[in-house]
Structure formats: structure tokens, C-alpha cells
A and B are shown apart, each in its own frame.
Chain A
Amino acid sequence: AQSVAQPEDQVNVAEGNPLTVKCTYSVSGNPYLFWYVQYPNRGLQFLLKYITGDNLVKGSYGFEAEFNKSQTSFHLKKPSALVSDSALYFCAVRDSGAGSYQLTFGKGTKLSVIP
């Protein structure tokens, strides 16, 4: 079975400060890892993914995430937060096996960027 943990229900950060949203995962094989963002009353939007290669992945809106295999983590980061980054963030994992389709989501972390 695969799982995702987002240990913080909410993260508060001041505008202009760096932000980190934490994610750890468990999967039997090699992971495909994803971050999605959800704004109020909207669907989930894809931000970035790790498939293989460089452990630092860059995505949309200036976000990046670092894959750490030994710590089974995939934390989302941004050097300078914007008020418009305030949203709900979901980490997700999928086994990289050929027959795998199930994307397992974490419970989400609400990010609030304070002006």
C-alpha cells in the first residue's frame, strides 16, 4: 500500500519570506511524486512532479520541490512567498510500476501568506 503524510494542517508565512510545505511518502517501488494546488471553489491544479533524475524539481509559479530518497520526503518550497500563494496544497504519490495508476493524495496543507 502507498501513503502520503502532510504533517502540517496549516502553514503561515509572511509575504516575502521563504516557505516550505512538508510531505513524506511510502510506496513499495520507486515513486512518482506530485504537488497540486487548490484555490477556493476550484479544482486541483498540477504544480510539479518528480519522476527521475535531479532531486530538485522546478515547477509553476516559482515553486520547487526536493526529493530525498533516504528520508522519503518531497517538500515543496518557494524562496519568496506571495499573498496569492495562499491556497490548499496536496502532495501525491504513485508507484512507478507499469501497471500502476492509483495516485494517493495527502490530506492537504493550507498555506496562508500574511501581507
Chain B
Amino acid sequence: DAGVIQSPRHEVTEMGQEVTLRCKPISGHNSLFWYRQTMMRGLELLIYFNNNVPIDDSGMPEDRFSAKMPNASFSTLKIQPSEPRDSAVYFCASSLRGTTGELFFGEGSRLTVL
């Protein structure tokens, strides 16, 4: 089975530009998480979806960040406008809710905002 697929793997953009990160979870998984990883703050949960519905977005830094899950096989994380402090690795992870809940992570999208 394919794992969690993220794109792009690397993105370099200029401050003020819109950035869209994409995620395809493992087929059959009904929970999806977006995390951000930085040296200073470690792994931070940004948003959690269950059955395509956002359940907890308390980790989204500010209104510049938005996430959608239009169907069970696709999610996006959008930053508009981007800022240098958004530079990080963004991970998508999926799991099957109702089980013991280990997460399966994608390879990440490394974002650099100049």
C-alpha cells in the first residue's frame, strides 16, 4: 500500500506569496493531521480532521493559515500571505480513528520563505 503522500517536497517562495501544501492520506484512514516541525518548537499539531471535518484547529498559528479536506483522499494546507517565520517542515499524518491510533507520516514538505 502507498503511504501518506505529500507534495511538494520542497518549496522556496518569497514573502507575501501564497503557498499550498497537499496531502493524500492512506486509503481507509479517517483521521488526518497537519504538523509543523522546527528546530525551536519541535513538532506542533496545526489541525486535526476526522471524517473530513476539522475537529481541532487550535494549533493554526493565525488567520494566514487555512486547511481544507474536501474528500477522504485529499487535504490542503494554505498559507497566504507567507512570511519568513513560516519556514519549516510541514508533515501530514493519517490514522484510523477507533484504533490505538498510531500515526503514519508523509515525507514532509520543506518550506522556505525568503
A residues with CB within 8 A of B: 32, 34, 36, 41-46, 49, 51, 90, 94, 101-103, 105-108
Contact = CB atoms under 8 A, between A and B. Distances in A.
B42 A49 contact: no
Interface of B: 4, 31, 33, 42-43, 45, 48, 50, 55-56, 91, 93, 97, 100-108, 110
29 contacts: A32-B100, A32-B101, A34-B102, A36-B105, A41-B107, A41-B110, A42-B107, A42-B108, A43-B105, A43-B106, A43-B108, A44-B91, A44-B93, A44-B103, A46-B102, A49-B102, A90-B43, A94-B101, A101-B31, A101-B50, A101-B55, A101-B101, A103-B33, A103-B45, A103-B101, A105-B42, A106-B42, A107-B42, A108-B42
B36 to A, nearest CB: 12
A101 B97 contact: yes
From A34, A36, A103, A107, residue with most partner B Cβ within 10 Å: A103
